[in-house]
Amino acid sequence: MHMQRIRVVKEALDANNTIARANRDDFDRSGVAVINLMSAPGAGKTTLLERTLARLEEWGTSTPAPRVGIIEGDVQGSLDSQRLAEFHVPVVQINTDAGFGGECHLDANMVRSAIPSLPLATIDLLVIENVGNLVCPAEFRVGEDHRVMITSVTEGEDKPLKYPLMFRACELVVINKIDLLPHLEVDLNRLLSNIDCVHPGVRCMLVSARTGEGLDTWCEWLWSRVRQQAILA
Amino acid sequence: MHMQRIRVVKEALDANNTIARANRDDFDRSGVAVINLMSAPGAGKTTLLERTLARLEEWGTSTPAPRVGIIEGDVQGSLDSQRLAEFHVPVVQINTDAGFGGECHLDANMVRSAIPSLPLATIDLLVIENVGNLVCPAEFRVGEDHRVMITSVTEGEDKPLKYPLMFRACELVVINKIDLLPHLEVDLNRLLSNIDCVHPGVRCMLVSARTGEGLDTWCEWLWSRVRQQAILA
């Protein structure tokens, strides 16, 4: 019985990869760079995106700035979508409790269902904000080019060792809420060393979405992904 | 195909409930009060348990204190078990990535596999520290008497609205890290109001596991659950 269960999961993952590939082809045809943004609940995904979109509006007044679209994944509700729609970018909400059985992650099929609602021809960068969870989102490709995670310093130094798959699945680890470090008993060097232990050499970026520290570096990284996609297209 | 998927999940949940009932019977026969402790990653479950066990050691020098056992659920590793074993209590580690397929939650069958390693006859209180996740752990009973969640103020005020099942599943919400409130833009009253919105009347407890604020109230609540179990047994 246990073997059968493993087989079913394997088939589900294979179907997911097939659909993820189809999503990726659609994004590639439109020249859209796609980021799958993951973290634990409350690590600051939406706040970082708010600051990113605000910075983009500033840049847009002087130079052409990338046009952003958002897919927002939540079990229930559309609070984050409402926050991001304030920035006049296209936002599509996926609720995983409606028709998907209350899933704790986005999968490729859910993202596929959102694609028709996205103006792919008029955006350069699509950010998919996953459901807040450090386990399952890392197991499901959704058609992204890049996987990024946020870990907040308030979560402690041990998270890479306890949720290694998530830290290994991502090419960039954004370490958020660094403005709180003076008020915590968290050893930043130990956190960095634990990340490097489970994913040697992975890029880490220190950010405070609240104060704006590190925001330029993060935005530059995003824009370079957009330029890379434009060259490949 | 979609209907079939729903049916399979239903059967799995029913099997889980059957095993959870068997676990509960075992715990009841031994007169052990059982707490299922859940939260997002890094909300402070283990730190709160460390402080609880330390307080218990202090109490034990003057009055008979409840004897505690721990089941520690993690995807991988035994960091938290090691921290708690320092307090000379029985700790059993369940790793959900070994033989369970990397699950993001504990289920009744996993807990059942841990029971033979627990000295049920010589403990009064069993705390099951679930995998850090605000979604799936709430869907699986494991044989507990009481479900408790921790939400950290650093996670923001909106979590009850985004993860309502978890907040509804618990009879006590411990609001942790309140020592950080002066450094956050978080409105505690809005958090309390959001909790009451999804679970009207649920008890909330303000705690700082770091400074010890609220720890007496939390320990009193735990001990009253033990006394209640002793009366019922």
Residues B145, B34 contacting (CB under 8 angstroms) = yes
Could you read off the pLDDT tens digit of each residue along chain A, which spans 233 residues?
444 445 555 666 689 999 999 999 999 999 999 999 999 999 999 999 999 999 988 887 777 789 999 999 999 999 999 999 999 999 999 999 866 668 999 999 999 999 999 999 999 999 999 999 999 999 999 999 999 999 999 999 999 999 999 999 999 999 999 999 999 999 999 999 999 999 999 999 999 999 999 999 999 999 999 999 888 76
Whole-angstrom Cα distance, residue B44 to residue B50? 10
Closest approach of B101 to chain A, Cα-based (Å): 8
Amino acid identity of residue B73, one-letter, is G
For the record, the structure tokens of B51 come out as 């402080």
Residues B233, B28 contacting (CB under 8 angstroms) = yes
Residues of B in contact with A154 (CB under 8 A): 42, 152, 154, 177, 180
Whole-angstrom Cα distance, residue B86 to residue B73? 17
Judge: A41–B131 Cβ closer than 8 Å, yes or no: no
Closest approach of B156 to chain A, Cα-based (Å): 6
The stretches of A61-176 forming alpha helices (DSSP H) are 79-85, 108-114, 159-162, 164-169
Amino acid identity of residue B24, one-letter, is R
Among residues 154-213 of chain A, which lie with CB inside 8 Å of chain B? 154-156, 158-159, 161-165, 177, 179-180, 183-185, 210
Judge: A77–B161 Cβ closer than 8 Å, yes or no: yes
Task: Residue count of chain B, please give it.
Answer: 233
pLDDT-derived band at B3 (thresholds 50, 70, 90) equals very low
Amino acid identity of residue A118, one-letter, is L
Whole-angstrom Cα distance, residue B86 to residue B151? 25
> Among A17, A187, A186, A46, which Cα is nearest to A112's?
A17
Residue A137: closest C-alpha in chain B:
B104
DSSP letter, residue B182: G
DSSP letter, residue A124: S
ipTM of the complex: 0.88
pLDDT in the model for residue B1: 42
Tell me the whole-structure pTM to 2 decimals.
0.91
Of the candidates B40, B133, B135, the beta carbon closest to that of A42 is on B40
Q: How large a percentage of chain B has pLDDT more than 90?
A: 84
Judge: B162–A9 Cβ closer than 8 Å, yes or no: no
pLDDT in the model for residue B28: 96
Burial class of residue A224 in the structure, from the number of CB atoms within 10 Å of its CB (0-12 exposed, 13-18 middle, 19+ buried): exposed
Judge: B154–A177 Cβ closer than 8 Å, yes or no: yes
List b or e across B148-158, with b for residues whose CB sees 16 or more CB atoms inside 10 angstroms.
Answer: bbbbbbbbbbb
DSSP letter, residue B70: E
